[in-house]
Amino acid sequence: MSYVGNTDTQRQEMLARCGVDSVDALFEAIPEHLRARSFDVAPAKSELEVIDELSRIANRNYAHLTNFLGGGFYDHFVPSAVGAICSRSEFYTAYTPYQPEVSQGTLQAIYEYQSDICRLTGMDVSNASLYDGGTALYEACQVAIHATHRGRIVVDGGVNPVYRKMLYCYTANLAIEFEEIAVTHGQSNREQIFDSLTDETAAVIVQNPNFFGVVDNHADIVKACHDRGILVIQSVYPVAMSVLATPGQIGADIATGEGQSLGNPLNFGGPYLGFMAMTKALVRKMPGRLVGRTVDRDGKDSFVLTLQAREQHIRRNKATSNICTNQALCALRAHAYLSLVGRSGLRRVADLCYAKAEYAKQRFAQIPGVEVMTASPTFNEFTIRVPMDAGELAGILVERGIAPGLPLGRYYEDMQNYLLVAVTERRTKHEIGLYAETLESVLKG
């Protein structure tokens, strides 16, 4: 029976089907104080009026803030073509490519993304992406543990504290031992890392640039670890890889990172994607899925899922991970971005980030009471010390239209007066100068 319309007869028929004689009886199971008195639905509006109203509401957000926030997630420019390509229905509505004969476009896009990550990191093989940078780092630990049959992980203190919290959360009920090594002048403390290596150590985790924006070359750590059969996991910032030594060049075993900076906007915190690449020797331990390239019976290029060591396939309890999907749309955006900017364009972006950050350092160093940390080289992110609580200072500057950076006191107890400042290619000389002038004015006041 169809109940289109709203006549009394139809209402009574519907109530009878439910076994009640009134609407009040239908909802009597809901406590009186929880029942809605009125939905207060506004009168209908035209499309123009709706757009204007929603725009007014959206403008109440701090969308006007000039953004100097970083800490692993960055405000990079995304070409309009990225959204145009990734919004095509054949990509946007695709789910998971179980049937290669009808999923060639999606499979090829993932294959090309994997190739991009291998070129960026200098590694042999990449998977089809993971949920985010922290998840990728956790999965890398699992690869190292399964490959070495050891249960101890040494973590450099310069690794993003958000990632470290995720590691400890994900492994809370697992027999994995972690040891953190504090950084020295922003760089990895070699002496303490070397002293911490034992026969039970599965891997050492380092980051470049690290959470403080400091650039480091971990080749000596890699050599010391390999001499003892220990794997090295390096978390990296993909944009910086166009100008810095890659994980492959220093001999790292696994490279991970957050791919948000590759064509994905900040989006109020997500969705993002984690990338993972490693040496060919570890490929059988790789989590998630991997797309391979082959030929069909007619000799034409074709793409298939060649590695699916997941529990929902035949691996069951022998699966490398319980990751059941990948961030395919975000990975597609990363591939579209890298294809559009190209090798030289990505290097140009990195050069701009570095140059503008150096200019910002110069401006801040001229402000009385502000100290720029210069003990180690940095990429596009650096630390300053201010003569007041950095969290309070950030709140004042936000009210003046500037998101000044990340107060480090929320992650490090002895750094209440420190601020982590990030500068991308989107920040102009005028914006940097305005930030410096506003900061100086606030400190004087």
Q: How does pLDDT run across 147-165, given as a tens digit for each residue?
A: 999 999 999 999 999 999 9
CA separation (Å) from 207 to 133, 159, 200, 212, 323?
12, 5, 22, 10, 23
Q: Which amino acid is at 154?
A: V
Would you state the pLDDT for residue 100? 76
Cβ atoms 165, 284 nearer than 8 A: no
Query: Within the chain, which residues score under 50 in pLDDT?
Result: 1-4
Query: What topology is assigned to 66-76+343-444 in CATH?
Result: Aspartate Aminotransferase, domain 1 (3.90.1150)
- How many Å apart are CA 291 and CA 97, to the nearest integer? 10
Would you state the pLDDT for residue 6? 56
Backbone angles phi, psi at 70, to 5 degrees: -145, -115
* Nearest alpha-carbon partner for 358 in 282, 427, 279: 427
Instruction: For tokens 């035949």, name the residue.
Output: 314
**First-residue to last-residue Cα distance in the chain:** 74
Helix (H, G, I), strand (E, B) or coil at 65: coil
Would you state the pLDDT for residue 314? 60
Helix (H, G, I), strand (E, B) or coil at 376: coil
Strand duo 274-278 + 254-258: pairing? antiparallel
Q: Kindly provide the residue ranges of all beta strands, DSSP E only, lying in 246-368, ordered along the sequence.
A: 254-258, 274-278, 290-295, 301-307
* Nearest alpha-carbon partner for 155 in 129, 186, 178: 178
Would you state the pLDDT for residue 309? 60
Helix (H, G, I), strand (E, B) or coil at 154: strand
For the domain bounded by 80-337, which CATH number is listed? 3.40.640.10
Compute CA 171 distance to the chain's CA centroid, rounded to the nearest angstrom: 20
Would you state the pLDDT for residue 28? 86
CA separation (Å) from 304 to 118, 184, 284, 370, 420?
18, 47, 17, 56, 43
Contacts of 259 (CB under 8 A, 6+ apart): 129, 133, 238, 272, 273, 274, 275, 327, 330, 331, 334
* Domain regions of the chain by residue span: 66-76+343-444, 80-337
| Tokens, residue 191 | 């002496």
Cβ atoms 153, 203 nearer than 8 A: yes
Would you state the pLDDT for residue 1? 40
